[in-house]
Homo-oligomer: A and B are copies of this chain.
């Protein structure tokens, strides 16, 4: 058996990502000891009840003591307070990372509170489901998914490489990226789509002439696809939008411009333009399936889960 990559890992926050990391590290024997903590006593109790970590600590300061790797798994808006709380308790030579969905804001919030004796290597695993909390995690969440690593100017190459080994051990592929490019890429592939899905679901829920019950009953005609990501954790997503404002608003601006152009094509009856557009978008799906980033089964393979 190969030795663990880190002797002791501390997970701060015990939601979907942290609980999946815990399961994935256990699956791979990647950590000697996993210590977890969460702000709410209810979450800590739930984690203890299901035996999520080797040990659940009552505070972040306590959790990070002696840890070789500390991963901040809290909503982006809570990162600064956590960094401030753990800063004085970090072991010299430890690596501090995170799993936040935005990177520039996290770097700005966290870096000032870390001592010079630790390595700060932000990261972002592109994986998730619409579930949250310590019971939502599972070991396979990161398999075949990407984890973006965002080394900082002072990150020691060995610390970066070790964190990459951990993510690969948990099933992910890794790629390095700058914080600003990360935030733009994610605005396109994640943040704008989420806001659009939230908006469409909100609009449908609002319409008075179409009853709630009709919106729900007839959702299989397309609408239900939007409701999955619009069921994602509200705190996490509030923080994402507030902390990646510029890139998200820029992409939404592009989206609106394009939506207006298609609305105009509908209004003027420009069928050729619509057909050309829809043929092009069909190819994008093919690329995603070929890249192994989605199932090839029709309807996401929902049939399997059907009653």
Residue positions of A touching B, CB distance < 8 A: 77, 101, 126-131, 136, 140, 143-146, 148, 175, 184-186, 188-207, 209-210, 212, 214-232, 234-235, 237-239, 241-242, 245, 248-249, 251-252, 254-256, 258-259, 262-263, 266-267, 269, 271, 274-275, 277-282, 284-288, 291-307
A188 contacts B266, C-beta separation under 8 Å: no
Distance (whole angstroms) from the CB of A268 to the closest CB of chain B: 10
Residues of B within 8 A of A241 (CB): 266, 274
Residues of B within 8 A of A197 (CB): 222, 225-226
User: Contacts A219-B293, A294-B219 hold; do A299 and B227 have CB atoms under 8 A apart?
Assistant: no
A202 to B126, CA, bound (A): 21
Residues of B within 8 A of A175 (CB): 217
Copies in the complex: 2
Main SS class of interface, A? helix
Question: Which of B193, B234, B274 touches A282 (beta carbons < 8 Å)?
Answer: B234
Which residue of chain B has its CB nearest to the CB of A209? B184
A201 to B251, CA, bound (A): 12
User: Contacts A259-B199, A302-B294 hold; do A193 and B226 have CB atoms under 8 A apart?
Assistant: yes
A298 to B233, CA, bound (A): 13
B242 contacts A271, C-beta separation under 8 Å: yes
Residues of B within 8 A of A188 (CB): 203-204, 207, 210, 215, 223
Distance (whole angstroms) from the CB of A113 to the closest CB of chain B: 22
Residues of B within 8 A of A222 (CB): 189-191, 193-194, 197, 229
User: Contacts A140-B303, A245-B266, A303-B140 hold; do A291 and B259 have CB atoms under 8 A apart?
Assistant: no
Which residue of chain B has its CB nearest to the CB of A230? B281
A218 contacts B193, C-beta separation under 8 Å: no
